């Protein structure tokens, strides 16, 4: 078959799909758990709300950064393509390398295992959690092999269900559960380093919860008019998540109060317990579905990175193969599934799920925010290079640039530095994997030079 006759990715997704993919990449289980972590670190209602509001503003700024990048470089692979075009192919390879070995595969494994821990008791199924976890990875991988439309419809369905669960939590906490009897308010520290330290510490779990908007950029090759649909979907999707998260935070404070919220290990469950048994059952099912929806999003989006790498000749050529009928990157999807299952088996074998969840999350967040910094720098690079931006790139631009873009880069740098300082055992191995991509890239290039026919 000639190169020109090779099947291409099917552009079947619209702005609505892009918006739900953005939201699906962000909303997992974090919003059901992290409010208690934030309350434990911020202590008072004003600081709790400030942390979530500031985190939302940072996420929105990140959304605008990626929206402008999507408008300027609407190629397959999203963030991978931005790194390649702004800096050097080795930087893009490092991103794809860590996505495959750390961030995307590890996130999928944890999502699958978390779902199994919720699903098995609710279904009264006594099989080991590993059976359910591996099963959902396989099922969603097969669905995505049927084509991007089937995968997107599945992802969208779960995203709508997640929104419904969050709205149920808000309704139950607002209209059914009794309001907390608040204790004497804790005084807010005076403006200074101490206050900034408290806010900075509270921002870490907030940014964990907001992380994930970048995964939608991987779908550029399957969006209709990606320069506009993706950029608009990023901004609208992030704004919608901010609204939902702020509402959940207000409900948590209303029903539990800052002190009880800080002491709770499962604030959403505690709120619905006060609302009644039916509401408690709804939130249990909802958290399981939310985790499943996040897994669906990851399986839909992640393989497009490896497809783009293979198309550039920087990874195994078979990963760029598309099924002639479904036009889905089935080899890339299969590779992602195999690695996610392998990590799932390892985590289960060592009974490390609960112990390793936070450590893997810290490592994944450090890696993600390294590339958020580079994404912000890429905006400066492209604005310098693109003297004549043209109509496609004038759709959405970062407001307040260059100051806002620089602020976003500084905040992301601080997050990376803090996680490496506070959790070196969790983050340094992943940073090492990140930099291991450099020799692997040049070794790959060297082998290609020696054996161009391989």
Provide the 3-class DSSP secondary structure of residue 18. Answer: helix
pLDDT digits (tens, 9 = 90+) for 207-238: 878 888 887 777 777 778 777 888 888 889 99
Mean of pLDDT values over 67-90: 86
CA distance 308 to 203: 33
- Answer yes or no: are the C-beta atoms of 75 and 246 closer than 8 Å: no
CA distance 43 to 32: 18
Q: Which residues pair with 223 in a beta bridge?
A: 13
Q: Provide Rg for the chain, Cα atoms.
A: 22
Structure tokens at 359: 């450590």
Structure tokens at 130: 């590993």
Highest mean pLDDT among 188-202, 239-253, 377-391: 239-253
Q: Phi, psi (5° rounding) for residue 13?
A: -100, 145
Count Cα neighbours of 380 within 13 Å in the Cβ-side half-sphere.
Answer: 13
Greatest Cα-to-Cα distance within the chain, rounded to the nearest angstrom: 75
- Nearest alpha carbon to residue 319 among 292, 297, 293, 339: 339
Please tell me the predicted confidence (pLDDT) of residue 187. Answer: 55
- Nearest alpha carbon to residue 158 among 283, 19, 297: 297
Structure tokens at 232: 């608009």
Structure tokens at 78: 């999203």
CA distance 329 to 195: 49
Rounded-to-10 torsion of CA 194, 413, 363, 230: 120
Mean pLDDT across the chain, nearest whole number?
A: 82
Q: Quick one: DSSP state of residue 127?
A: S
Q: How confident is the model at residue 390 (pLDDT cuts 50, 70, 90)?
A: very low
Structure tokens at 1: 């078959």
pLDDT digits (tens, 9 = 90+) for 137-175: 999 899 888 877 777 788 888 888 889 889 998 998 888
pLDDT digits (tens, 9 = 90+) for 95-107: 999 988 888 887 7
The helix (H) or strand (E) run that includes residue 319 is none
Domains of the chain: 9-450 (1.20.1740.10)
115, 263, 344 from 350: Cα distances, Å: 18, 28, 10
- Answer yes or no: are the C-beta atoms of 162 and 290 closer than 8 Å: yes
């Amino acid at each position: 078959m000639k190169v020109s006759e090779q099947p291409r990715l099917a552009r079947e997704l619209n702005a609505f799909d892009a918006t739900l993919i953005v939201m699906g990449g962000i909303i997992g289980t974090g919003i059901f758990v992290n409010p208690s972590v934030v309350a434990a670190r911020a202590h008072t209602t004003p600081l709790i709300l400030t942390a979530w509001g500031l985190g939302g503003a940072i996420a929105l700024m990140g959304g605008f950064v990626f929206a402008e990048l999507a408008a300027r470089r609407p190629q397959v692979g999203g963030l991978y393509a931005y790194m390649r075009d702004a800096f050097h192919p080795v930087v893009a390879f490092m991103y794809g390398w860590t996505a495959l070995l750390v961030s995307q595969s590890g996130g999928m494994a944890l999502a699958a295992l978390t779902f199994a821990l919720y699903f098995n008791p609710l279904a009264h199924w006594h099989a080991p959690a590993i059976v359910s976890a591996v099963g959902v990875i396989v099922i969603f991988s097969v669905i995505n092999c049927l084509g991007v439309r089937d995968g997107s419809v599945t992802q969208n369905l779960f995203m709508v269900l997640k929104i419904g669960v969050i709205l149920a939590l808000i309704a139950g906490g607002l209209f059914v559960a009794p309001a907390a009897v608040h204790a004497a308010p804790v005084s807010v520290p005076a403006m200074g380093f101490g206050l900034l330290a408290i806010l900075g510490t509270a921002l870490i779990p907030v940014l964990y919860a907001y992380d994930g908007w970048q995964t939608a950029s991987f779908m550029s090759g399957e969006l209709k008019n990606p320069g506009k649909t993706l950029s608009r979907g990023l901004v609208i999707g992030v704004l919608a998540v901010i609204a939902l998260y702020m509402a959940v935070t207000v409900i948590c404070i209303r029903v539990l109060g800052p002190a009880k919220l800080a002491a709770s290990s499962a604030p959403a469950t505690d709120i619905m317990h006060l609302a009644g048994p039916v509401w408690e059952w709804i939130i249990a099912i909802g958290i399981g579905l939310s985790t499943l929806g996040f897994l669906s999003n990851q399986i839909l989006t992640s393989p497009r990175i490896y497809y783009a790498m293979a198309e550039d000749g920087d990874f195994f050529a078979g990963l760029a193969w598309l099924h002639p009928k479904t036009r889905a990157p089935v080899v890339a999807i299969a590779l992602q599934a195999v690695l996610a299952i392998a990590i799932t088996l390892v985590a289960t074998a060592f009974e490390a799920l609960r112990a390793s969840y936070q450590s893997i999350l810290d490592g994944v967040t450090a890696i993600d925010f390294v590339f958020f910094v580079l994404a912000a720098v890429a905006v400066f690079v492209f604005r310098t290079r693109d003297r004549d931006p043209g109509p496609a790139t004038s759709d959405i631009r970062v407001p307040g640039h260059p100051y806002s873009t620089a602020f976003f880069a500084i905040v992301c740098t601080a997050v990376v530095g803090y996680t490496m300082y506070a959790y070196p055992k969790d983050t340094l191995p992943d940073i090492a994997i990140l930099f291991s991509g450099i020799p692997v890239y040049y070794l790959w290039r060297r082998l290609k030079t020696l054996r161009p026919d391989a």
